[in-house]
Structure 1
Amino acid sequence: MSFTFFATNADLLHIAKWVLDDPELMLFEGASQPDKPNRWFKTADEVGCLFTDGTPPIDIWVESAGAPPRARSVTFGKDVQQKLGGQGRTLLESPAVIRLMRNGDQMGCLSWSQLSNWTEKGARQRSTFPTELLDAVDWKAVRSASSRIQRTIRNVSPAKLHAYPIMPDAFSRMQSSEGLRLWWGGAVGYLCPSIAVAQV
């Protein structure tokens, strides 16, 4: 399942802080930097530094759901090795993970962000995880954690584009002299009729 919203790096940092404050959740780097170990984040400053590296996806393990992430090594082809300056990377994978990602900006506009995670039905139909690992997951815990983060995003967001929340820093920058625009099949500005502002 996936949940789409609009967020700047500052907004994503707030989400990371909520995750770090939740004792059931652990924040980590699902795909390591070339030839380096995967990072497990303990502080907001560590996550903030990650966002300056090009905003790669970060993963949230629902510890109470079980199925700890398992390491899988990936070796780069020669062209990628030369480009990235490394032999490969390590992936940490689990069906009990929620992924937080921000799509790259489009035409100078802020593109969408997304939370995504497996449901039990989807994982059993389409994932490559072994059956015994899927059997070990507390799927209710995964669903509860994902819903909790989504609900918090909705509650703090002062506006939305169609059904998609616009988080506070993104919306503030849309209203400011900067005139930040969103990208949704084209540039969307603050005065677009498709944007609904929350009633206080």
Structure 2
Amino acid sequence: MAQLDFFGLDEDFYDVMQFVFSETDLIVYEAYSRIDHEIRRLSSVDDLREIAHELKGGCFLLRSWSPTVTNSPIFKTFKLRPEIGGHRTSLEGSGLMQFAQGRIESGLLHSSSFSHWNEAGALQRSAFPTEDIDWTAMRKISGRIHRHVRNKLAVAKLYSASVLPGAFEALGPDFAIWYGKAHRRDSESLIEKPGSSLKQRPPRDST
């Protein structure tokens, strides 16, 4: 599994997704539909803003695919227990890319991630077909997203994870990054990029 960890508040996550929507051909859906509703395609940051109030735990979980990578994502509908509802639908498949927003809990920001199968891992462990996946095309799209987050958006890094502007500016006595332990502005492991231009952004409400 290939994975990029990064730390960001809501606007930081939207900045990542703005690049996805405008600079790649990824087709983005919510990972799971609402109970007894159709799964929704999301085509812009405005679409994300419109559904943000619905999110359980305040965090997005999105899945996407590129037509250059695969032509067969799987929309899987499953039944629920009667006391919960009738059904939900999930988007599945070995050729998908996932964007998971990190939660804020007790003043600690957890990492967001961009992840997908690599060829070796999918061939060994994925429960879904791999025959139609263009792994070279997947690596190309993934590389562009990695470079944009690390080189264009990040203002600091914590070990191998990128720290985006809103998250970095929000660090203070009552707000820290959780990456194995709490990290604040004075953490030796948190390294600011030289020449970064930062803007203050308020954190989401903590849960």
Indicate the TM-score class for this superposition, using the shorter chain for normalisation: 0.7 to 0.9
Determine what percentage of the aligned residue pairs are the same residue: 27
1:71 equivalent to 2:75? Answer yes
For residues 4 and 39 of structure 1, what CA distance do their matches in structure 2 show?
A: 25
Gaps (5+ residues) in structure 2? Answer: 196-207
**Would the aligned equivalents of 1:111 and 1:182 in 2 still touch at CA under 8 Å?**
yes
For residues 103 and 13 of structure 1, what CA distance do their matches in structure 2 show?
A: 13
For residues 45 and 196 of structure 1, what CA distance do their matches in structure 2 show?
A: 32
Give RMSD over aligned pairs.
1.7
Query: Which of 117, 133, 137 is 2:133 aligned to?
Result: 137
Deviation sequence 1:56-97 (CA, Å, 0-9, x none): 311121221123322111112245x1xxxx212011212221
**Would the aligned equivalents of 2:14 and 2:45 in 1 still touch at CA under 8 Å?**
yes
In structure 2, relative to structure 1, the CA distance for the partners of 1:44 and 1:56 (3 Å cut) is closer
Partner-residue secondary structure (3-state), 1:170: helix
Query: Which of 152, 161, 171 is 2:168 aligned to?
Result: 171
- Residue 89 of structure 2 aligns with an amino acid whose one-letter code is T
Partner-residue secondary structure (3-state), 1:193: coil
What TM-score do the two structures reach when normalised by structure 1? 0.87
Structure 1 residue 22: Cα displacement = 2.5
- Residue 44 of structure 1 aligns with an amino acid whose one-letter code is V
Aligned residue in 2 for 1:106:
105
In terms of fraction of residues, the more helix-rich structure is 1
User: Which shows bigger deviation, 103-112 or 7-16?
Assistant: 103-112
For residues 67 and 124 of structure 1, what CA distance do their matches in structure 2 show?
A: 18
1:162 equivalent to 2:163? Answer no
What TM-score do the two structures reach when normalised by structure 2? 0.85
Aligned residue in 2 for 1:119:
118
Aligned residue in 1 for 2:143:
147
Query: Which of 178, 187, 190 is 2:182 aligned to?
Result: 187
Q: For this pair of structures, how many residues does the alignment match?
A: 190
**Would the aligned equivalents of 2:24 and 2:141 in 1 still touch at CA under 8 Å?**
no
For residues 138 and 61 of structure 1, what CA distance do their matches in structure 2 show?
A: 11
User: Which shows bigger deviation, 70-79 or 29-38?
Assistant: 70-79
Gaps (5+ residues) in structure 1? Answer: none
